[in-house]
Amino acid sequence: MFNLTEILNQAEFTKEELMYLLALRGDEQRKLFLRAAIIKEKFVGKKTYFRGLIEFSNICHKNCLYCGIRAANNKVNRYLLQKDSILEAVKFAYNNKYASIVLQAGEREDDEFINFINDLLVDIAKICNGELGITLSVGEQKTEVYKKWFDLGANRYLLRIEASNKDLYEKLHPNNSKHSFDRRLACLKNLQKIGYQTGTGVMISSPYQILNDLADDLLFFKAFDIDMVGMGPFIEHEQTPLFKHCKELPSLNERFLTSLNMIAILRIMMPEINIAAATALQAIDPVGREKAIQLGANVIMPNITPSLNRKDYLLYENKPCTDEGADECLDCLVARIDMAGDEIAWGEQGNSLHYQNRMKKRKE
């Protein structure tokens, strides 16, 4: 029998305790949320950091079984933004004091794509005098490519593991060399060695997944010494192989509640990391991201992709904000963060405190 009050005063949890916390609902769940909110305020403050999200291409060479922009989906209108369009979005972020941007795209490793990003990073540095924090989220690459991008000014990298259990990972991806769990893990380790603020994340309540897997995911984040996490509820896409399992999954509301528990527990376990309030939360609950901010998340990503292309970057169904311009998205999020009781950290990059401490230890 578990004593919730005692468990919530701990910073370390057994797998059994994590599974108990993940299943909490009702008044007990609210106690978890309250504890996570207290930890957040104590360690990272009631601040939310903006990361201007630029989804600059939906061309992908992978075939992940859950993703709407997988290479085999021939119903997608493929695009790669012109460099000028990307730089206009960067200027918007810089001029509006976001202090950080995220460059996200489908996964490619060809020279044309790599050189495109090389040139892009050079131009971004000219626009902002090196003042913008730059997160890349463009998948698995060779170590020398990661190092080149780091040297050109990218200082954060998000590479979601999606499932830290290898067996589960292999059920969510095709069985071929392009979709290797071991390589993904090796890439995360390489990113850390190079010096990136390293981020990862998982899908919550995906097909084949059980609470035991989610508990392992939380322990993985801790053991890996991760700096930032972006995770959210699994939402199916009808043009993917895993869509056939949608009727077997927990309800959308259950997926949402479990996602909030994951965020709250992780905040308690790793109080100094950055945790994003995923857009997928808002796809289920109109104020989903605000709820995540209240109980532990401290990063939100306003979409500043040109409106014309947003509808073509659909990883899952019912993605919100696909018809808004960057200005509308900004106005909306300012109101939402205020509603959540946080202040927006205008002009602050919001580097992970966990990362800063990790790098200090590495130098000692």
CATH value at residue 180: 3.20.20.70
For every residue of 19-38, DSSP letters joined together read HHHHT--HHHHHHHHHHHHH
- Give the global pTM: 0.96
In angstroms, rounded to a whole number, what is the distance separating the alpha carbons of residues 77 and 68?
Answer: 11
Phi-psi region of 296 (alpha: psi -120 to 50; beta: other; left: phi over 0): left
Q: Which pLDDT score, from 0 to 100, does residue 317 have?
A: 79
Give the number of domains in the chain: 1
Per-residue pLDDT reduced to its tens digit, 291-321: 999 999 999 999 999 888 888 998 887 777 6
In angstroms, rounded to a whole number, what is the distance separating the alpha carbons of residues 50 and 216?
Answer: 29
Q: Which pLDDT score, from 0 to 100, does residue 323 have?
A: 65
SS3 for 52? strand
Show the domain range for 152.
4-363
Model confidence at 322, in pLDDT bands (50, 70, 90)?
Answer: low
Tokens 């005063």: give the residue: 9
**Of the ranges 83-87, 109-113, 275-279, 317-321, which one carries the lowest mean pLDDT score?**
317-321
Q: Which pLDDT score, from 0 to 100, does residue 321 have?
A: 67
Q: Look at residues 21, 98, 104, 100 and name the one whose alpha carbon lies nearest to residue 295.
A: 21
Q: Which pLDDT score, from 0 to 100, does residue 329 have?
A: 75
Tokens 């995360």: give the residue: 188
**Of the ranges 10-14, 119-123, 330-334, which one carries the lowest mean pLDDT score?**
330-334
How many CB atoms are closer than 10 A to CB 110?
Answer: 9
Tokens 């004091």: give the residue: 97
Per-residue pLDDT reduced to its tens digit, 88-130: 999 999 999 999 999 999 999 999 999 999 999 999 999 999 9
* Average pLDDT of the chain to the nearest whole number: 95
Which segments of 132-242 does DSSP mark as H helices, in order?
A: 143-151, 166-172, 181-194, 211-224
Give the pair of three-digit tokens for residue 228: 């930032």
Mean pLDDT of 150-174: 98
Mean pLDDT of 170-187: 97
Q: Which pLDDT score, from 0 to 100, does residue 5 have?
A: 96
324: pLDDT strictly greater than 70: no
In angstroms, rounded to a whole number, what is the distance separating the alpha carbons of residues 28 and 280?
Answer: 24
